[in-house]
Amino acid sequence: MKSLKNLIGCLALLSFMFASCSDDKTEISTLVYPSVVSTSITNGATGVSVNKDTIQITFDRKVFVVYKDSFKLNGVSAVSATADGKVISVILPALAKGTTYSFRVGKYAVKTDSATVGAVFTTPYTISFTTEVPTVSDSVETSLVTTNPTTQAVKLYSYLKECYGSKMLSATMANVNWNTTEADWVYTNTGKYPAINCFDFIHIPYSPANWINYNNTQVVEDWWNNGGIVACMWHWLMLANDGTSYSYEPGTGSAQTSFDVSKISDTSSDEYKKVMQNIDTIANHLLVLQNKGIPIIWRPLHEAAGNTNTYTNGTAWFWWGAKGPTAFKALWKLMFNEFNAKGVRNLIWVWTSECNDSDWYPGDNYVDIIGCDDYSTGDQLHGSRLSSFNKLKTIVNGNKIITMSECGGIPNPTTTFSDGATWSWFMPWYGDYTESSSYNGASYWKTAMSSSNVITRSDLPSFK
């Protein structure tokens, strides 16, 4: 009897299990899986922004996330996946420019109300897309070399970086010193002001005088307050050999200077003391502008190599390059460190290259922008100067903004970009270089300033 009862119990249990299995089979066989209606990034899309961090998948019915790791981008699991009704939002891993991606939804990634396990597709659902093409500015340093730069300097540099590769800023050079003479001439002849005006501290040994007074910053303030960008350079004068005049030209002639920059490494030398005195004088003037909230594109010690690397018996044109690259770089770093020590924080540092002088480069930690002064003539008067651009790019490995810090003829704004010479700005020298039709003149300035590739003062945002 006991055996018969056990047999009956086992048969009953088997019958229950079979019935249960049959019910499950019926449920699974009648289950309707959800379908994808759309995705926020379409299959085959190109030029997708790398700032796009989320993709949304819309289904034809309410769904739930089962496995976050079943959502993959090029094999890497999604950061997160959350459902809201028919839509699942997937936060993607970081995107890189110029990259093709495959986004995959695994077949067990989501489920419906009635599904006991995730089961959406018989095969995974996949789309592909390609991100935006990299630009020349992508490789450029994002931070200034100055310690704790001012807010205005950061804003200005960020704008220069944003424009780099797609636009050129227009600029003029002050007629010798502390004025906007050439910028005013451009406005008179074109109806537009250049974006940048560059001032020169060349006459600092004579100031203050009735004809030059760097203590009066009104002209700089007016330019800034009217929406312009301020740049400054320094033709650094030292006492000439005649003992009364001043010169930046090295040599033994009476109107030249024998100042020996190589001696500044000796802190007890007269040369070191003189250099420090001059640097502190300029620093104090820059601090006045800093206190007024004015950032400065700062281009000191320009063209240091001269033609020393161009000709067999080439020479430096200025005393700061007369003793070679080692002494020059020591002077640059001395100025940089002294400015930092004095709290000058409103500068964007520009080093001017001769395009063949990588041994003169002060280093990435001391330079924000690299430029060259190009006075090409003939068919290159308004040419792109692509060769010079590429040489500068090689010197800094593409990590710095590249600019035409001085020029004779303004590069053609159309062909320059099509050639790939994406100069940050152009700045003709004052006088004939700006005003004469032999170089630019009113007609060519009108052409340049009306180009969609050129930024004028009225195009600038506020950096305050």
**Residue of 303, 338, 354, 435 with catalytic role:** 303
Task: Check residue 25 and give its pLDDT.
Answer: 36
Closest to 392 (Cα-Cα) out of 348, 422, 354: 354
Using CA atoms, how far residue 23 sits from 10, 93, 120, 290, in Å, is 20, 42, 21, 81
pTM of the model: 0.82
221 is catalytic: no
pLDDT of residue 27: 39
Interhelix angle 441-449/181-190, nearest 10 degrees: 80
Note the pLDDT of residue 165. Answer: 94
pLDDT at 111: 82
Q: How many CB atoms lie within 10 A of CB 103?
A: 21
The residue behind tokens 């090029």 is 74
Number of C-beta neighbours around residue 120 at 10 A: 23
Is residue 303 annotated as part of the catalytic site, yes or no?
yes
Angle at CA of residue 431, ends 391 and 315, nearest 5°? 45
Q: Which position among 162, 182, 271, 406 bears the catalytic label?
A: 406
Mean pLDDT by 10 residues, the chain (464 residues): 44 39 39 82 94 92 88 95 94 93 89 61 82 86 96 98 96 96 98 98 96 97 98 98 97 98 97 98 98 98 96 94 98 98 98 97 98 96 96 96 98 93 97 97 97 98 96
pLDDT (0 to 100) of residue 320 = 98
* CATH numbers and ranges of domains, the chain: 36-131 (2.60.40.1220), 136-459 (3.20.20.80)
pLDDT of residue 10: 42
pLDDT of residue 357: 97
